[in-house]
Amino acid sequence: MAADAPQATPGRRLKELENALKKGQEEHEQIKQRAAALGKELADIKSEMVGVARAVQEHEETLSELESQLNDLDALEREKMAALDLKRQQMNGVLTALQRLAFRPSEALIAQPTSPADTVRSALLLRDVLPKIREQALTLKTELDSLSSLRADIGRQKRRISATTAKLDGEHKRLTELFRRKQQLQQETEGKRLETEKQLQTMAAEAKDLRDLLSRLEEERLRREREAAERAAAEKAARQAEIAAARAARQAEIAAAKAARQARVAAARAAKERHEAEIAAARSARQAEQQAEHAAKEAEARADQAARNATVAAAKAASDKAPPGRRGAHPFSQAKGEMVYPARGRIIVRFGQADELGAPSKGMTIQTRRGAQVVSPYDGQVVFAGPFRGYGLLLIIEHGEGYHTLLAGMTRIDGAVGQHLLAGEPVGVMGQSEGKPHLYIELRHNGQPVNPLPWLTARKTKVTG
């Protein structure tokens, strides 16, 4: 019984190590499954937000058209009222004279200060006027009927505006619910996002111009990628060393226990057996180390294959759930004519035209409705979101291959730094103050402004300027 005591300690140690490894693998798998579930739910929400934002913009455009038609109907009503009032004044005197002749013809003739012949001529003239008065009365009745029909059209138009406004409010509420759920899913990374935003705000304050800002953002992105790769390599090396050390310790404990038992049985062969035990321990340690490296490589290969399979499955699921007209299926350099309009409205300044200061515009400006919805024009990642000098609130989206989209003029930005966006995903809202808000759109390639209009999808858009 005493001889078995030394064997209990390495056995328990081995069991503890195996349990710890198993528990760690289970926890790691649970984390991966949770991350995959959160990623799928977030992708579904982003896809639904794209559809809701599109519906909001369509309701906004319909509402603008209905309001314009209502203004035209109101102006036509005012014109008809003025014309009818003028005709009423013109006919007032003639009708008064006819009423006097109809009720008191004898007294009217006697009271005339002119000769009887002139009086007869006046009566004959009034008789000739009667058919024309009847004709004008019929015309007046027709115009009054037309005015009544016009007012009925105005009432119907107002009801359509009220119904469209109610639909728009419903879509806004749905979009608000989606934003709330999206923020809940992103709370796990909120601290890191705020820290990144703070660093980028500091860089923005130090940047001399917009090109310098874009250059600093690119350098920061490359630095983060290098640090992430270095951390991954260090963690991988540490895991391999820990596994090899654990297996070597186990083999050493087994060999030591065997040597101790052999020493108690034959004292004369203690030196030789100790030497053999040491050789066996070294050989076992080398074999354990080789087995650990081989197992680690196999585990790494299986993990890489699983990650690739998950990436392919996620991409396929996102492609299957993408709404009709989805953009961003290929590199941005091949997407000319496929960018969606960030907001619905009227183009008032084109690329290269003189802006408010008289300088050539580096982008284009759209006049929108108050509180209009703004969406991402193409797939990309938010690299800057916040105030920047003369731009006010500025949102910069990186599309890859050196392309960036700049959006300015919003009173609220919903996109966060580091967030990956889909084409059409809501990113902000225009102002509610009096007057028409202006959304400024700029497209840059390697820091140089390019005309964004050829990159946007063809659609019915009022253009001026």
Q: Which of 439, 459, 463 is nearest to 372 (CA)?
A: 439
What is the residue type of 256?
A
pLDDT band, residue 294 (cuts 50/70/90) = confident
| Per-residue model confidence as pLDDT tens digits over 126-145 | 666 667 777 777 777 787 78
> 10 Å Cβ neighbour count for 102?
9
375 contact partners, CB below 8 Å, separation of at least 6:
50, 53, 54, 57, 340, 342, 343, 424, 425, 426, 427
Q: Distances from the Cα of 4 to the Cαs of 1, 7, 263, 326, 337, in angstroms?
A: 5, 5, 14, 70, 80
Confidence (pLDDT) at 463: 46
Question: Is 397 within 8 Å of 217 (Cβ atoms)?
Answer: no
Among 37-41, 70-74, 124-128, name the one with the lowest average pLDDT: 124-128
| Per-residue model confidence as pLDDT tens digits over 351-401 | 999 888 888 999 999 999 999 999 999 999 999 999 988 888 999 999 999
- Alpha-carbon distance of 23 to 396, in angstroms, equals 43
pLDDT band, residue 295 (cuts 50/70/90) = confident
pTM exceeding the 0.75 threshold for the entire prediction: no
Q: Quick one: average pLDDT of 304-317?
A: 55
Confidence (pLDDT) at 43: 78
> In 238-379, at which residue ranges do the beta strands (DSSP E only) sit?
346-349, 364-367, 373-375
Higher pLDDT, 167 or 446: 446
- Alpha-carbon distance of 430 to 374, in angstroms, equals 7
| Per-residue model confidence as pLDDT tens digits over 176-222 | 887 777 777 666 655 555 666 666 666 655 555 666 667 777 888 88
- Alpha-carbon distance of 415 to 396, in angstroms, equals 10
Confidence (pLDDT) at 90: 67
Confidence (pLDDT) at 372: 93
Higher pLDDT, 24 or 458: 458
pLDDT surpassing 80 at residue 9? no
Confidence (pLDDT) at 97: 62
- Domains in the chain, start-ordered, CATH in brackets? 1-185 (1.10.287), 209-321 (no CATH), 332-455 (2.70.70.10)
Most confident by average pLDDT, 5-19, 79-93, 170-184: 170-184
| Per-residue model confidence as pLDDT tens digits over 249-268 | 888 888 877 777 776 777 76
Torsion from C-alpha of 165, 168, 170, 171, nearest 10 degrees:
180
- The share of the chain scoring above pLDDT 70, in percent, equals 67
Confidence (pLDDT) at 315: 47
pLDDT surpassing 70 at residue 119? no
Q: Which of 194, 215, 189, 191 is nearest to 203 (CA)?
A: 215
- Alpha-carbon distance of 80 to 243, in angstroms, equals 92
Q: For Cα atoms 255, 2, 20, give the angle at the middle one, nearest 5 degrees.
A: 55
Q: Which of 299, 300, 298, 296 is nearest to 245 (CA)?
A: 296
Q: Quick one: average pLDDT of 317-327?
A: 46
Residues in the chain: 465
DSSP code per residue over 96-113: HHHHHHHH-HHHHHHH-S
Q: Which of 442, 349, 464 is nearest to 390 (CA)?
A: 442
Higher pLDDT, 39 or 49: 49
First to last CA, the chain: 100
Q: Give the pair of three-digit tokens for residue 141.
A: 């009745």
Confidence (pLDDT) at 429: 95
Chain-wide mean pLDDT for the chain? 76
